[in-house]
């Protein structure tokens, strides 16, 4: 019952028929990840993607000086996927790690291909999700260059308040391209306004 309810919400905004949704949903497998466990590690090829039912996940890379830099946060309802690794079948440069205990719905590459080629509305939903992810990535890349750190933080608070409330400031700071100290200063500044 939980599977239908949660994934029906995920696929609810699509043009998929009730029958198409039932077929797609039946292919997903519920999996759990403990806090700090990896969904995907650098150097491996992504063979799955996940929708998050509960919990928080982040992706990160290790920079040239050995620091881990957060590239994205994921929470309830989000799709967790390394697009290039999954579709191009290349080893990833990112790590994807659970920040809390998580319940996810997993789909493997072969099953995805089967659904993609047999259900037109599943394919369209996938394209829409990919385009949305690309726009978010592009917006973040430009923001890192063109916006003040305070504005980047305020956008994150507005767009993902649940992340700001539940994820360590260290991870948030690296995602914003600033130090923990700068983030603390920005937060104090905002609180005093």
| Residue owning tokens 């978010």 | 136
Which residues, including other chains, have CB under 8 Å from residue 50's CB and lie 6 or more apart? 31, 39, 79, 80, 81, 104, 105, 106, 107
Token pair recorded at residue 108: 């493997």
- pLDDT score, position 2: 41
**CB-based burial, 89-122: b 16+ in 10 Å, e otherwise:** eeebebbbbbbeebbbbbbeeeebeebeeebeeb
Domain spans, the chain: 2-121
- pLDDT score, position 5: 60
What topology does CATH give the domain 2-121? Jelly Rolls (2.60.120)
Token pair recorded at residue 187: 């937060």
- pLDDT score, position 183: 94
- pLDDT score, position 47: 97
Per-residue pLDDT of the chain (193 residues; tens, 9 = 90+): 444 468 888 887 778 888 888 899 999 999 999 999 999 999 999 999 999 999 999 999 999 999 999 999 999 999 999 999 999 999 999 999 999 999 999 999 999 999 999 998 888 888 888 898 899 889 999 998 999 999 999 999 999 999 999 999 999 999 999 999 999 999 999 988 8
- pLDDT score, position 8: 82
């Amino acid at each position: 019952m939980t599977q239908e309810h949660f994934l029906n919400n995920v696929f609810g905004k699509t043009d998929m028929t009730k029958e198409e949704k039932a077929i797609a949903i039946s292919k997903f497998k519920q999996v759990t990840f403990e806090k700090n466990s990896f969904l995907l590690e650098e150097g491996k090829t992504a063979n799955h993607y996940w929708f998050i039912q509960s919990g928080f996940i982040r992706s990160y890379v290790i920079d040239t000086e050995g620091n881990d830099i957060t590239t994205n946060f994921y929470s309830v309802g989000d799709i967790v996927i390394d697009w290039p690794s999954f579709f191009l079948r290349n080893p990833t440069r990112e790590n994807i790690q659970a920040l809390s205990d998580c319940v996810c719905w997993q789909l493997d590459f072969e099953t995805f291909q089967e659904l993609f080629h047999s259900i037109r509305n599943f394919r369209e939903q996938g394209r829409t999700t990919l385009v949305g992810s690309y726009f978010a990535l592009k917006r973040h890349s430009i923001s890192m260059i063109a916006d003040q750190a305070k504005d980047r933080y305020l956008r994150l608070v507005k767009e993902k308040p649940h992340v700001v409330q539940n994820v360590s400031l260290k991870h948030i700071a690296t995602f914003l391209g600033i130090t923990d100290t700068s983030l603390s200063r920005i937060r104090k500044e905002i609180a005093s306004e």
